[in-house]
Structure 1
Amino acid sequence: MGKIAFLFPGQGSQSVGMGKTFAEENEAVSAIFKRADTRLETELTKLIFEGPEAELTITTNTQPALLTTSIAMLEAFRIADIQPDYVAGHSLGEYSALVCAQALSFEDAVYAVRMRGSFMEDAVPEGQGAMAAILGIERSLLKEITDEVTLKGQPVELANLNCPGQIVISGSKEAVEEASLIAKEKGARRAIPLSVSGPFHSSLMKPAADKLAEVLNNININDALVPVIANVTASEVRSGEEIKQKLVQQVYSPVLWEDTVNYLLDQDVDTFIEIGPGNVLSGLVKKINRKVRVFSVNDRESLEKTVETIKGGNA
């Protein structure tokens, strides 16, 4: 029997109205949204369900909104009584994975990511940082390019190693633009500037990481009940202390997503269930390995289909 991994999405998967029908149909789901409003003393649920989209996409709002919706959808999925052998999340999604593994309480997680979003927004003045997706280039060659540009004085680094041929770079605006041009000259298929509010997962985020460390020092982080695959190392973390260190490092380090999925494949995971809005991670898993079973749970229909296929397959 193959193993099961739950995956949780990060920033970019948000949309106005996410989780609304789930909340209307299910009291336990609705309760998660209410708990977020209470902990943050704000009308987060109203923003998630009704928008406006421009406000939802502000990092300080997006991060708690996505975490809340992912955990609400996890709550709905509990009915299936399917347990993960491993959990992982992309960037912000790692906090959802930690709630799933009971290393973090939901209230602490939603507060931590609200603060994390705020620190990330404040770390670099508006317009000075940038990110770009570079398609169709080898990781080692792109790293050579970013290292070369950084040596000239402005930092640019690999930020998200999502799947073969899809890597996001991050750093100062000028350095990202220069690295994008060189990458295209050296054979990259495309370089797409991303509409983000800062150079996430780059060394420019170190001030945000320092502030986040203070927040996490005042939060109870337990040992995880299920192995969590950390973005920073693409390996298992269980101890509360190690989890805290990795969450701080994660702010300014690359998200090793392709490596994370490959690690899970090496542990005999053959069923990946993405829980939360959108299906970005499901798409990335399929690009890394076409043979595994991949499901997205983001509404009642997809939940029922997932349960039916998995339970049916096990019968």
Structure 2
Amino acid sequence: MLALLFPGQGAQSDGFLHRLPQHRTVRDTLEEASQVLGIDVLTLDSADALRSTVAVQIGLTVAGVAFTRALAGEQLMPEISAGLSVGAYAAAVSCGAVHFGDALKMVRKRAELMETAYPSGHGLAAVSGLTEHQLETLAAQHVDADNRRVYVGNVNAPRQIVMAGANDALDTFIERALAAGARKAVRLAVSVPSHCELLAHVTDELVAYAQNVPFHAPQSTYIGNRGGRPLYTAQAIRDDLATNMRYTVRWFDALTVMLEMGAHVLIEAPPGQVLTDIARENCPDTAALAASAFSFDKLVATARRRLGTDGL
């Protein structure tokens, strides 16, 4: 069984849209996105453009959908789709729960709300080596002089956690986490405090916006962010997408349920590698492939071999 994984903000790099597979469906997707948004989306992956949360989140969504369509053109259709944070939007398109154009507009709205709420001064930090409980305890103890705290944003693996908050509070928290035994603690290339209560007020605005976005029952399995469980209705997927910036992403739970459902080949859409690394470290018997590490033809051949569909 094939599962497609879609990375979140932080996976971007200069020129990532220009490195997508040279495939007809990719070109068509880039053109469609440009028409929907009224911009040339290939301008969104320059170093200057990627300073914008809006450019990053749109670009990641376009990349994920373009890659999904390229795979479909080679008769590789996922039975499960899951995305981390903004990656969930490409996952929802992949499983047929929302049309690409509608997803793009909702992503743009999401990113604009986040960027307007926190244009600077906030972000994320990844901490390895401590559990969620240990970090929650440290966070409760760690309130800086301005009464700012940090929050658990993503649980990517049992001891790989992303924290969200103000820059100064995060920098001090990193020192505290390392002193408490963290193996590694680093800032991420994200300029907003994703997946915590700091985004509660803008989440309400996105929920209201989403009520007018057409959603559909998924044609294949969609795994949610907030609960890390399969969601089967249009409304459940709408709610997951509209609220995931406020709540902790339960990525490891999502990965676990994918494997329990029978996924044995995982492909991470470009430009990501982190979700592949998490799967390889925690699920060594699973074939986890990062598209960005292969030529497209080699990726297709490898996936077919692992799925046992070489003759297609």
Same fold (TM over 0.5): yes
Residue of 284, 289, 303 corresponding to 2:299: 303
Matched, 1:8 2:2: no
How far is the alpha carbon of 1:188 from its aligned partner?
A: 1.1
CA distance in 2, matches of 1:46, 1:286: 33
Query: Percent identity over the alignment?
Result: 27
Seen in structure 2, the aligned counterparts of structure 1 residues 56 and 176 have a Cα distance that, compared at 3 Å, is closer
CA distance in structure 2 between the partners assigned to 1:139 and 1:267 by the alignment: 25
Q: CA RMSD in A?
A: 2.2
Task: Find the counterpart in structure 2 of residue 17 from structure 1.
Answer: 15
Counterpart position of 1:251: 245
For 2:78, the equivalent position in structure 1 comes to 84
Q: CA deviation at 1:308?
A: 4.2
Map 1:173-188 → 2, pairs under 5 A: 173-188=167-182
Query: For residues 133-152 of structure 1, what are the structure 2 equivalents within 5 Å?
Result: 133-149=126-142
Query: Shift of residue 21 of structure 1?
Result: 5.7
Partner of 1:40: 37
Give the unaligned 5+ runs of structure 2. Answer: none
- Alignment partners' CA distance in 2, 1:47 and 1:245: 27
Q: Which moved more, 1:258-267 or 1:12-21?
A: 12-21
Q: Tell which deviates more after alignment, 299-308 or 89-98.
A: 299-308
Whether the aligned pair in 2 keeps the contact of 1:34 and 1:45 (CA below 8 Å) is no
Counterparts of 1:77 and 1:297, CA distance in 2:
11
Bigger mean CA offset, 62-71 vs 77-86: 77-86
Question: Superposition pairs for residues 86-235 of structure 1, below 5 Å?
Answer: 86-127=80-121, 129-149=122-142, 153-235=147-229
Match of 2:24 in 1: 27
Change (3 A) 1:169 1:47: closer
Corresponding pairs, count: 308
Structure 1 gaps of 5+ residues are: none
Q: Distance in 2 between matches of 1:19 and 1:302?
A: 19
Question: What TM-score comes out, normalization by structure 2 length?
Answer: 0.91
Note if contact 1:71-1:96 (Cα within 8 Å) is conserved in structure 2: yes
Please give the alpha-carbon distance, in whole angstroms, between the structure 1 residues aligned to 2:301 and 2:273: 15
Q: Which TM-score applies when normalising by structure 1?
A: 0.90
